[in-house]
Structure 1
Amino acid sequence: MVSVRLAAPLAMLFLSGCVFGPEHSPPQTALPAKFNEGGTKSDQDVTSVQWWTAFNDTRLNKLINMGINQNLDILQALERIEQARASVVTSAAGGLPSLTGTASETGSQTNGGFNSQPRSWDSKGELSASWLLDLWGEYRRAKQSAKASLDSAFASVDTARLTYLSDLATAYIDARYYQARIAIANEAVRSRRETLSLTKLQLEAGAASRLDVVQSEGLVNSTLADIPGFEASFYSNAYHISTLLGMPASTLINDLKKSAPQPVARHKVISGIPADLIRNRPDIRAAERNLASAVYDIGNAQAKLLPSITLSGSISPSYVHSSSHGTSNTWSFGPSLNLPIFDGGTLRANVKNAQSVAREKYLLWKQTVLNGVEDVESALAAYNRDARAVAANRAYVKSYKEALELSTASYKDGASSLLDVLDAQRSLTDAQASLATSIQQMANDYVTLNVAIGGGYNFNGTAQQVEAKVKPADIPPSLAKK
């Protein structure tokens, strides 16, 4: 027959294997077999695909590589990994034995008349130990929840890197667009000044009126008035690129001011299938890990409803050094039982709250998945039509270039009025602006589509690898990692 002394520890050991609360399993939701304008073939892992190289723009490639390890949003996300890792340690610490020690030494002496006493010293020490037995898995669930939050922190780094790629590529495309608009405006000014000079000559010859000259001057000045706005927009995007790279604009602006064509992607995007998004999109992975953390929090809350046992003890040796030496030792050891008998419903309300949070996190995960599908669908619909818009605008420009040549020649011969030339110039400028806008839109839609499918953020390594090698250079010494 097993004695009570042996049975009690065995029972506690058995109970310590109990874990309350539901287990997390990967959530499921219905997804279409393919995107509406996509194929049926999976694109597998696209997280390392350097899609921006399709622009064949060495400057853009250089900027992306330069800033990926110094973007401030990414560096902040990396710090949150450190915070989440510390939370894993603190969440499990309550279920481990703790040991604390104290020591003291005091001296005393009484002086005065016949009652004088020699000096004496009293040395004391104490060691205290306690261990809350995790009978119901409270701290194990807390540690599981913290580990899921750590996974979410790694996914947040990937989200920050993907956002960086999107913001930088878009700002670069927009900067080149405004450079193109400046070039178009300058070309229009040159052409309209030539027309103005021709009109002044015809005025002197009596073949034109003062009204014709004033109209030509007005069109020149109108075009000149557009240029400062384009320049301001170029600088705005250039400054944003500098901020994304975490560097002063002065070191970058001169390089960006060098003329370059608008970026045009040379490769076709393979969108994959909706199921690929669950693996490739970091925001979906982060939502799933946040759901896991919330599920484990339910078990943590349920475990608090049950009794808990704490083993605690202490030993306190002391030594008195005086005319009569002496030592003493006191110790204590034993279990204490905590019974949550009446708490006004707080503990059960905490369980209901944890369950509600978990349901909310599931709905958020599902919404994140559906938003991801919508992002890809919308980007596909736009990108698949961009090429047609660019082709139509190229034809538009070609037509009005010819119209301007014909109207100018006819005006020189006196067969048509100045208004025909001015209308042709205005229409050509509008056509060139429309072409530049459609090229900009196609490039931005290419970026949007690649970001929507979760492409490229692992091109320089996984979040774990990046965390190991990226070190902020300008952190104050007092805040540097020890």
Structure 2
Amino acid sequence: MRKTVGTPVLALVLAACATAGPDYRPPEKSAATAPEARGAFLSAQGAGFSNAELPDHWWRLYDDSRLDMLVEQALAANTDLRVADANLAAAEAVLREAEAGRTIGTAVGGGVTLARPSGTGENLPGVVGYDLGLSASYPLDLNGRIKRAIEASTADLETVVAARDYVRVGVAAATARAYAQVCAANYSLTVNRRVVALQRETLDATQRLFKGGRGTAFDVSRARAAVDASAASLPAFEAQRQNGLYLLATLLGRPPADYPKEVEDCAILPVLHAPLPAGDGAALIRRRPDIRQAERSIAADTARVGVATADLYPQISIGGSLGLGGPLKSFGSGTSFGMSLGPLLSWSFPNRPVVKARIAQADAQVQADLAHFDGTVLEALRQTETALEIYRRHAEQAAALDRARDSAGVSAGQAGKLFRFGRGDFLSLLDAQRSLAGAEASAAAARVQLVQDQIAIFLALGGGWS
């Protein structure tokens, strides 16, 4: 059998004509595909939950026009979102740069020289020469290096889009939380002021009894101490309200002094008018932007394996050039003109160990991305289950505290009647009112916490980016 030198060269050229590196496919065996990850949530049990998917604009479930307005303003003006939009514009520019690798590349060059012979002993004028050239090349991309680079940049762009969407999720949730904080502070102020008013009535009655000779100064001082103790909690709620307003201003891209005055008097807690739509694990995995971001990172780095693999083979392009050169006095003459046209080959053949090391690095990065993807899915599921469980238990606690408040109210009323008719002592009345004050405060705090728990669930579910 005769062997020719062209046989291995031909085989190399044919190998270079195949797209280098693996084609990307979504992970088939991962945490996202496990049946346990895609089913209903264990903690979303009971009448307070539904299996419906979370709507895109979940804050509208509260049917609160002021909350809707604030979230829309935040999504339009938040500074973190402006940063995310700038990152998106940069990623789009990188993609355009990668796509430009498929276009014809051109270069223009030129120069002027002065050549003067030496050693003649005379001052010669010298010869002025010139050199002008125009070259162009078109990459054939037979091994798919440019194709893989475009795939990587496209996936990088989609990663940045997902990161921007995750910022939107956080901004929507933070705005709802800040608004709920303002409403909750005013709501708590209303509840505690009602308690203070009741205790002031007792203080006034005690003072009248003391003046009429039926009470003691000790009874008056104890009644005043109860009023002062309850009133001491009011400044803290006022501070919480202002902090919430300042946070809203920041989220809306405004200075703190320019906080939204229209929500300053909100004293009604946001309330869901239907069971909380929790969906299931499959919907969560599809919806969460950070999971999509992790998956797109795998795609980008898989394409980079192809970019690195392509360096094992020659890069072939079609090139041509036109040139003029020679003494300036012969500018434009036929003898000063030159041209070339043909294939161009670039190949770092002696550096194959370096290229293979880069391929190994790219492969290792893909493996790291796969592990990160699984971790992101598992963390998203954990966050959601935890948020649902906390909300469910806090709902039970809030119901029990409501019953305790109602019982304390009945007890305080009975103690007041007994005291007024002389059948009960003043200490029993104070104890009953103290119990009522504590029960009112605890029940109010529990209701406030439920709203925050709901928003934590919506954040964990990843809603609000579309």
TM-score bin (small chain):
0.7 to 0.9
1:157 Cα deviation after fit:
2.2
Which residue in the other structure is 1:476 paired with? none
Q: Work out whether 1:437 is the aligned partner of 2:441.
A: no
Which residue in the other structure is 1:216 paired with? 223
Structure-1-length-normalised TM-score: 0.81
Q: Work out whether 1:409 is the aligned partner of 2:414.
A: no
* 1:345-364 correspondence runs (5 A): 345-364=353-372
Whether the 8 Å contact between 1:38 and 1:273 is mirrored in structure 2 is: no
Q: Call closer, same or farther: CA 1:296–1:240 in 2, change over 3 Å.
A: same
Q: 2:72 aligns with which of 65, 75, 100?
A: 65
* 1:16-165 correspondence runs (5 A): 17-28=17-28, 29-32=33-36, 33-38=39-44, 43=52, 46=54, 48=56, 50-94=57-101, 96-103=103-110, 124-131=131-138, 133-165=140-172
1:333 Cα deviation after fit:
5.5
Q: Work out whether 1:247 is the aligned partner of 2:254.
A: yes
1:293 Cα deviation after fit:
0.7
Letter in 2 for 1:273: D
Q: Does the residue aligned with 2:431 lie in a helix, a strand or coil?
A: helix
Q: Work out whether 1:176 is the aligned partner of 2:183.
A: yes
- In 2, Cα distance between the equivalents of 1:56 and 1:439? 18
- In 2, Cα distance between the equivalents of 1:200 and 1:265? 45
- In 1, Cα distance between the equivalents of 2:51 and 2:217? 68
Q: Does the residue aligned with 2:108 lie in a helix, a strand or coil?
A: strand
1:211 Cα deviation after fit:
2.4
* 1:195-274 correspondence runs (5 A): 195-274=202-281
1:422 Cα deviation after fit:
2.1
Q: Does the residue aligned with 2:383 lie in a helix, a strand or coil?
A: helix
1:144 Cα deviation after fit:
0.7
* Aligned positions, number: 444
Letter in 1 for 2:347: N
1:15 Cα deviation after fit:
5.4
Q: Call closer, same or farther: CA 1:408–1:330 in 2, change over 3 Å.
A: same
Which residue in the other structure is 2:349 paired with? 340
Deviations 1:124-180 (A, max 9, x none): 522133455534322221211111111112222221111112111112112211112
Whether the 8 Å contact between 2:188 and 2:441 is mirrored in structure 1 is: yes
Which residue in the other structure is 1:420 paired with? 428
Whether the 8 Å contact between 2:191 and 2:444 is mirrored in structure 1 is: no
Which residue in the other structure is 2:293 paired with? 286
- In 1, Cα distance between the equivalents of 2:345 and 2:22? 29
Letter in 1 for 2:348: L
- In 2, Cα distance between the equivalents of 1:41 and 1:189? 40
Whether the 8 Å contact between 1:131 and 1:310 is mirrored in structure 2 is: yes
1:208 Cα deviation after fit:
2.6
Deviations 1:425-482 (A, max 9, x none): 2221221122222222222222232333333432xxxxxxxxxxxxxxxxxxxxxxxx
Deviations 1:372-413 (A, max 9, x none): 222332233233344433332222222112222222232233
Q: Does the residue aligned with 1:19 lie in a helix, a strand or coil?
A: coil
Whether the 8 Å contact between 2:44 and 2:388 is mirrored in structure 1 is: yes
Whether the 8 Å contact between 2:44 and 2:389 is mirrored in structure 1 is: no
- In 1, Cα distance between the equivalents of 2:258 and 2:65? 18
Q: Call closer, same or farther: CA 1:393–1:86 in 2, change over 3 Å.
A: same
Q: Call closer, same or farther: CA 1:81–1:259 in 2, change over 3 Å.
A: closer
- In 1, Cα distance between the equivalents of 2:178 and 2:234? 19
Deviations 1:39-79 (A, max 9, x none): 899746x453x322222322112211222211222222222
Q: 1:380 aligns with which of 369, 383, 388?
A: 388
Sequence identity (%): 28
- In 1, Cα distance between the equivalents of 2:101 and 2:394? 59
Letter in 1 for 2:42: N
- In 2, Cα distance between the equivalents of 1:42 and 1:11? 58
Whether the 8 Å contact between 1:127 and 1:315 is mirrored in structure 2 is: yes
Whether the 8 Å contact between 1:138 and 1:299 is mirrored in structure 2 is: yes
Whether the 8 Å contact between 2:248 and 2:260 is mirrored in structure 1 is: no
Whether the 8 Å contact between 1:199 and 1:208 is mirrored in structure 2 is: yes
Structure-2-length-normalised TM-score: 0.84
Q: Call closer, same or farther: CA 1:83–1:9 in 2, change over 3 Å.
A: farther
- In 2, Cα distance between the equivalents of 1:200 and 1:63? 48
Letter in 2 for 1:455: G
- In 2, Cα distance between the equivalents of 1:81 and 1:337? 34
Which residue in the other structure is 2:462 paired with? 454
Which residue in the other structure is 1:466 paired with? none
Give the superposed CA RMSD.
Answer: 3.4
1:94 Cα deviation after fit:
4.5
Letter in 2 for 1:373: L
Whether the 8 Å contact between 1:47 and 1:280 is mirrored in structure 2 is: no
Q: Could you tell which deviates more after superposition, 359-368 or 198-207? A: 198-207
Deviations 1:253-303 (A, max 9, x none): 432221431111111123222122222221111111111111111122222
Letter in 2 for 1:18: A
Q: Does the residue aligned with 2:134 lie in a helix, a strand or coil?
A: strand
Q: Call closer, same or farther: CA 1:107–1:445 in 2, change over 3 Å.
A: same
Letter in 2 for 1:23: D
Whether the 8 Å contact between 1:47 and 1:454 is mirrored in structure 2 is: no
Q: Work out whether 1:396 is the aligned partner of 2:393.
A: no
Whether the 8 Å contact between 2:74 and 2:175 is mirrored in structure 1 is: no
- In 2, Cα distance between the equivalents of 1:76 and 1:22? 34
Whether the 8 Å contact between 1:145 and 1:297 is mirrored in structure 2 is: yes
- In 2, Cα distance between the equivalents of 1:26 and 1:41? 30
- In 2, Cα distance between the equivalents of 1:338 and 1:16? 11
- In 2, Cα distance between the equivalents of 1:325 and 1:381? 86
Which residue in the other structure is 2:119 paired with? none
Whether the 8 Å contact between 2:22 and 2:302 is mirrored in structure 1 is: yes
1:319 Cα deviation after fit:
7.7
